[in-house]
Amino acid sequence: MIEVFAELVPDQPSRQGPPDRNRCDCDHGRVDRAVSRRWRWEVFRPYPRCRTQDRRRPNLETLTNGNEGDAARNHDAREVTMTAGKWLKTACNLCYINCGIEVLVNDGRLEKVRGDRSSPKSQGYLCNKASRIPYYAHHRDRLTSPLRRRADGGFDEIGWDVAIAEIAARLRDVVDQYGGKSIALYGGGGQGNHAGGAYGSGLLRALGSRSTFNALSQEKTGDFWVNGHMFGSQTCHTAEDVHHCDLLLVIGANPWIAHGFPNARDHLNQIRKDPARKLIVIDPRRTETAEMANLHLSVRPGADAFLLGALLATLVRSDRIDRAFIDEHTIGFPEVRQALLNIPVEAWAAAADIPVADIERCAAMIAAAKAMVVRVELGIQQGTNSTLNSYLEKLLIMLSGSFGRKGTNQLHSWLQPLWGNSPNQTFAPTGDVIIGGLLPPNIFPEAVLKDHPDRLRCAGSTVPTRPTPPQIPKPWSRRCARSTCAWSSTLR
């Protein structure tokens, strides 16, 4: 379903820097040019020196170029390492891709991580995040037992049974006195602790509350809101079939570093080497991914909505849209078409600092593609006009008919949704809209301090996703002793 979202007039970004600079040439200065040259060279190496663990593990015998002695020594070295512990198969849970990995466990301690070649999905692929799991799992600053705060501000180590019993008693006192709605979860999930979100939400519902504050609500809820209106539910979420596309359009993302889809570097290299496949990158920076692109649109920071609007208007004016798909699968297109025709392309292109010729070239590449995938990330979801950006991005997918086919965007299925569907719901203490069942941490101070019968009196954190907002005054800790308590799985 396509809907008209008011007038497509994004906020004008501030103009800083020389107005006549050619951003497409991306003159980063001497230092940045050196970095850019290094990455250009590294991108095309068979196994880049920078983070080689981000690539599929090479075959030891192949790397020795037929030298049986070197191959034997390398093989023996691996055997010695493996005999010190046990390699176990599992899956990485640092992001939603869940690549297959193997971990070397020695006396209950993670010592090494490598890609699982037998995994049909990742086929031995390993990114830099997974390779660092042992470092963070056994970091010297990681807490391994509960800590109870003393009156002087210090902490005493206590046992888990004692900690759980004390937390349970305080939670029960708060529920009995103020009701379950006075309790909230701050955090839930995150790097290496996605399970905490599920368990934390289960506990919260058992206590009679659904108030959850986390970083996801400040990153993605604009996109969730758009999905709710376009697809019927805020839990509907688009995925990308990058593996089979012939055009990959990346907006506000750098998958060479951040990954974001399975075997990201492998597929980026495959697209680069295949003359029948193209890559377009929209990003103010000349990123590692942009270095590989057939077309890099170096948009002015904060002007993504102007660029996307001008691109959509160009597609509509030249009638390079999939009318058959639009007629069969959408409603409300005449109103959207008129709104796009009203866009002054030249003025919006100037606001985005992109030549009209480059926008027309981008439109031609989109029209020529048989299967286009649009890959977006926080670059357009946490900046100026973020909700409008998400709407225009979805319009680009729909108007080009790049939806629900092999090699295009589509709605993925869920084993368990990471967020909810909460249309037309508000958080009573502050009056803020609840999107995806989530609340942004920037309203947390008001939710605690506001004089409202349902204000928060107890907040639990399963993982510290963001620092405590500065609006929380120091006397809040004294208020905790009277009417508000805080608990954490690590009792910080």
Instruction: Give the model's pLDDT for residue 193.
Output: 59
Q: One digit per residue, pLDDT tens: the chain, 492 residues? A: 555 444 566 766 654 443 443 434 444 333 333 334 334 443 433 333 333 344 444 444 444 444 545 444 444 444 444 446 899 999 988 887 889 999 999 988 899 999 999 999 899 999 888 898 899 888 888 888 999 999 999 999 999 999 999 999 999 999 999 999 999 998 765 555 567 777 888 888 899 999 999 888 888 999 999 999 999 999 998 999 999 999 999 999 999 998 889 999 999 999 999 999 999 999 999 999 999 999 999 999 999 999 999 999 999 999 999 999 999 999 999 999 999 999 999 999 999 999 999 999 999 999 999 999 999 998 999 888 999 999 999 999 999 999 999 999 999 887 777 788 999 999 999 999 999 999 999 999 999 999 999 999 988 776 543 444 455 444 343 333 333 334 443 322
Contact 275, 346 (CB under 8 A): no
Q: What is the pTM of this model?
A: 0.77
Instruction: Give the model's pLDDT for residue 53.
Output: 41
Contact 37, 286 (CB under 8 A): no
Q: Residue 225: how many CB atoms within 10 A of its CB?
A: 18
Contact 429, 456 (CB under 8 A): yes
Give the Cα separation of 121 and 130 in Å (integer): 16
What type of residue sits at position 477? Answer: S
Cα 220–Cα 224–Cα 227 angle in degrees, nearest 5: 140
Residue 281 φ/ψ, nearest 5 degrees: -125, 130
Mapped onto helix, strand or coil, the DSSP state of residue 278 is: strand
Instruction: Give the model's pLDDT for residue 240.
Output: 94
